[in-house]
A and B are shown apart, each in its own frame.
Chain A
Amino acid sequence: MGTLAGSLSAPTIERHRGYAVFAAGLCVFVALPLATVVSLSIGSPWYSIYARLFERPEIIRIILRTLLVAVITAAITVGLALPVALTIGFSSTRRRLALLWLFAIAGFSPFLVRGYAFVGLLGEHGPVDALRRLLQISGGPLLGTAAGVVVTLVHALIPATVIIITAAISDDTKRQISVAAAFGAGPADRFLLVTLPTLIPSLVSAFAFAFIIAAGAFTAPSLVGGGRETLAVQVIYMHAIDLDDLKSAAALSILLALCILLCVAAIIAAFGSKRSRPGSLRRLRSVAAPLRRVSPRVLGAGGTFLRVALTSFAIILVAVPLVYVVAVSFQPQDMLAFPTDGLSVRWYRQVLADSSWLHAAAVTARIGIVAALLATSAGYLVAQATRQLRPSSARVVRAATIAPAAAPAVMFGVGLYVIASRIGLAGTEFGVALAHALAALPIAYLAVSAGVERYDDSFDRAAAVLGASPAARLIAIRLPILMPSFVAALVLSLLVSFDEVIMTLFMAGTDVQTIALRMWSSAIHSAGPELAVPSAFLLVVTGLGMLILFAQFGSPTDLTKRNTNG
């Protein structure tokens, strides 16, 4: 049986139909929950459920609020990420790597842990409110406000957006800037006419990414916004679980998904065109005109100051909550208060003595490993398939594989829940693992396919001529060479699984208790200091995962890079 792909029409090194069949199956697996949600949302007449939703003004308000929060979050995130990316992109290699890995660790830390951190940071006993009282600014704590939700989401999204934008600052960009300088372009012209235009595609993807995640967010708004600043996913969840109204939940999630899709399409239509239009260049040049009168030295120094200030702010914003969680886990008081007096391992003792936490840890590990293996192997097979399929089919398969990251997770949660209940998988560990595999599929695919597309088929040809059978080629050549990508996919999938809440809430029922779920159900009622212990544990796991990736890849931007020269 031939198992290898190759570009030559050789007797054994040839395309394999199995990959395409698998890819088709995966598309169905992804589409099925979505189709289920669509069919749930259809009443008689077909629009009746939607019509009922539109009769409730608060529903429209919540959707509009969700989109507004997402737009504001995305704008602030990209506005902060751009100076950070510029700082990182133009630093020395060592500093660039150090900063990138800091952002990678922060970016892959569980959203849940960071949401929990912000409950403490923004709460009435937290340091932010203490600062507010000190400065005698009127108002109350940020916890429970839309501003608090935005801050939490910005914090959550900055790392990934920084990495997206930094990846776009290539050596080519740097050369172009030097050339522009040699032709007499000052700092303002260089930035507005060279740097910014080359970064626009990455800024658009970063904005779209931040918008999609923010609009579909669940943990941050639930923990930090609470009941007062309800966002769309919370309402969907409420309809599905608390009100047992799956039909409304389905219709609402489709409404939300359509709104997100429309907004992203609008963003891409407005800014996404790859060629810079002459009009926009002229506009940029007119912006640069008054700046040209300022002395280049003053302008350069001012720009640098602004960049460094914003970068420092972003680093603090990203790092403080992580440090805070670890610090809180070692403080003795009964409430989330920090700074505090004294150190204590009291909460560690309490958590370690609680068998339910240990049980949850074991369940989490089992589910995580199964989900990571499923997502990674599916990612590999899809990557092989997309390499062989016609470009149009490959695009469809790729879209289906990325879909779980692009559509709100709650939609998959509802769909999977309905399917799983029918076939008896709801409330089982395997059911949860399947849901987690779906959630991890996009990142696993991106990591594996980067390796697969970089892979040089001539290794297979060389091994074949030298006498290696198809099986020997797979085991001795292809898999070992692709191993770093597999490791990356496994680690990232594990971290996704450890952090998954919304799909788990639907799938787990009452019997399956993961760490994330246990933390979630405690935090939603009262976020006490004992939760800092599992949080710190998850942070350590994230750090270890990043350490593994650091050993395999030089830079986080290489994780999903497709072409390298050597």
Chain B
Amino acid sequence: MAEAVGLESVRKRYGAVTALDQVSVSVPSGSFAAVLGPSGCGKSSLLHAIAGLVRPDSGVVRLNDKVVGPDVPPESRGVGMMFQAPTLFPHMSVFENVAFPLRVRGTPDAEVNAATQSILQLADLSDYSRASPKTLSGGQQQRVALCRALVFRPSVVLLDEPLSSLDRPLRESLQRELLKMQRATSATFIMVTHDRDEAMALADVVFVMQEGRIEQAGPPSSLYRAPVNRFVAEFFGGSTVLSGDLHADSNLWSIVNADGLKLHSSAGNPPSAGKMDVAIKPEDVRIRRHTSNDAAGNGDCLGRIEEVRFTGPSVLLIVSCPSARLLARVDADDSEQLADGDSVIISVNSADTVVI
């Protein structure tokens, strides 16, 4: 697949802070990419470097297979962009806001009107075209901003946490809107977000960032199933990362922690010797009540429930055994007898965990 946006060894420092540390990414054209990371990880700088709003100290930025030098101003890059705030021009109507990118490109009036009206229609905003943006709700304003970013048919659209200031139901409806618009225009969308669920729901490809570096890139499912390091496992997978010792037994090997809890088991040759880290997803943890006639078996360990967090269909438990503490997700129906402080037996579905 052709590449829409490429970055190669891009660096950007602000004083002592490194916002982008040798970042290289390649976004296939027509995809919906998400750049995910905690605040301050450099994900906005990455987007701004593509837009030309941040000048990289070094490295190469490519748009549609063409190198874009650091001196190419934003207005010559031809990308669409949405910001965290709607940033609609307060002195223009909704229509004029959306028409703005066409007007500055000298598009003939007839074309401006046709394109603007059709995109407002697609976004269900035709009724508001004469309105002042100030009279619109926050969600409507962001939809206008989306229309404005798309109206001139850019091949690349950058979205800088556009939904982060909206409340949950509105955010979900706008997520659907973003997907719909992306499919309708077949433009490449690159969205920056700190919300893992949003990235999973929308993106074909996710770039997880931390401290100016890309930690892992790939489709959400592969990042979820096979995190390459502790950060991705915890931040993207919501996993608990525990370390244990290798126990090899002819063709089988396993990793067992200090409490005798079997964290992982595999056939074949172990990847290395000694201590290893294992990412355990909450749903791979099994919990059963500890009763007098049920003792911890091989690979299990005794623990205590520290916290029960009801989340609807499932319940998230924080459980601790002597040397570790981990997250477990159990079916809400199975959790009814469980309460804080209960003694439980913990086991791990060791075939599904990932050694990192």
Contact code string B53-83 (vs A, CB < 8 Å = 1, else 0): 1110000000000000011111101111101
Total interface residues in chain B, CB < 8 Å: 32
Interface of A, helix, strand, loop or mixed by DSSP: helix
The stretch of B97-105, B216-224, B325-333, B337-345 in contact with A is B97-105
With A13-B53, A459-B89, A481-B91 already in contact, the answer to whether A464 and B83 are too (CB < 8 A) is: no
CB contact list, A457-471 vs B, under 8 A = 458-459, 461-469
Q: Is A139 an interface residue (CB 8 A)?
A: no
Q: Which residue of A lies closest to B90 (CB)?
A: A481
The reply to whether A466 and B101 contact each other, CB–CB distance below 8 Å, is: yes
Contact code string A450-482 (vs B, CB < 8 Å = 1, else 0): 000000101101111111110010001100110
Q: Is B33 an interface residue (CB 8 A)?
A: no
The stretch of A4-12, A270-278, A330-338, A409-417 in contact with B is A4-12
The reply to whether A10 and B52 contact each other, CB–CB distance below 8 Å, is: yes
CB contact list, B289-346 vs A, under 8 A = none
Contacts of B53 in A (CB 8 A): 8, 10, 13, 461, 464-465
CB contact list, B157-195 vs A, under 8 A = 158
Tally inter-chain residue pairs, CB-CB below 8 A. 86
The reply to whether B104 and A465 contact each other, CB–CB distance below 8 Å, is: no
Q: In whole angstroms, what is the CA distance A480 to B77 when docked?
A: 25
| Contacting residue for B75 out of A8, A458, A467, CB 8 A | A467
Contacts of A458 in B (CB 8 A): 83, 85, 87
With A8-B48, A9-B55, A458-B85 already in contact, the answer to whether A476 and B75 are too (CB < 8 A) is: no
Total interface residues in chain A, CB < 8 Å: 24
- Of A458, A466, A468, which is in contact with the most chain B CB atoms at under 10 Å from its CB? A466
Contacts of A472 in B (CB 8 A): 104
The reply to whether B74 and A464 contact each other, CB–CB distance below 8 Å, is: yes
Q: Which residue of A lies closest to B50 (CB)?
A: A465
The reply to whether B71 and A467 contact each other, CB–CB distance below 8 Å, is: no
The reply to whether B81 and A462 contact each other, CB–CB distance below 8 Å, is: yes
With A11-B71, A13-B74, A476-B104 already in contact, the answer to whether A465 and B51 are too (CB < 8 A) is: yes
Contacts of A468 in B (CB 8 A): 75, 100, 104
Q: In whole angstroms, what is the CA distance A477 to B83 when docked?
A: 17
The reply to whether A11 and B104 contact each other, CB–CB distance below 8 Å, is: no
Contacts of A9 in B (CB 8 A): 54-55
Interface residues of B (CB under 8 A from A): 48, 51-55, 70-75, 77-81, 83, 85, 87, 89-91, 100-101, 103-105, 148-149, 152, 158
Interface residues of A (CB under 8 A from B): 8-13, 456, 458-459, 461-469, 472, 476-477, 480-481, 483
Q: A459-B87, A483-B91 are in contact. List 8 more A-B contacts (CB 8 A).
A: A9-B55, A10-B74, A458-B85, A459-B89, A465-B81, A466-B75, A467-B152, A476-B103
Q: Which 7 A-B pairs have the closest CB atoms?
A: A12-B73, A464-B74, A466-B101, A465-B81, A462-B87, A468-B104, A480-B91
> 19 A-B contacts, Cβ less than 8 Å apart?
A8-B53, A9-B55, A10-B48, A10-B54, A11-B73, A12-B75, A461-B53, A461-B87, A462-B83, A463-B100, A464-B52, A464-B75, A465-B52, A465-B79, A466-B100, A466-B152, A468-B75, A476-B100, A476-B104
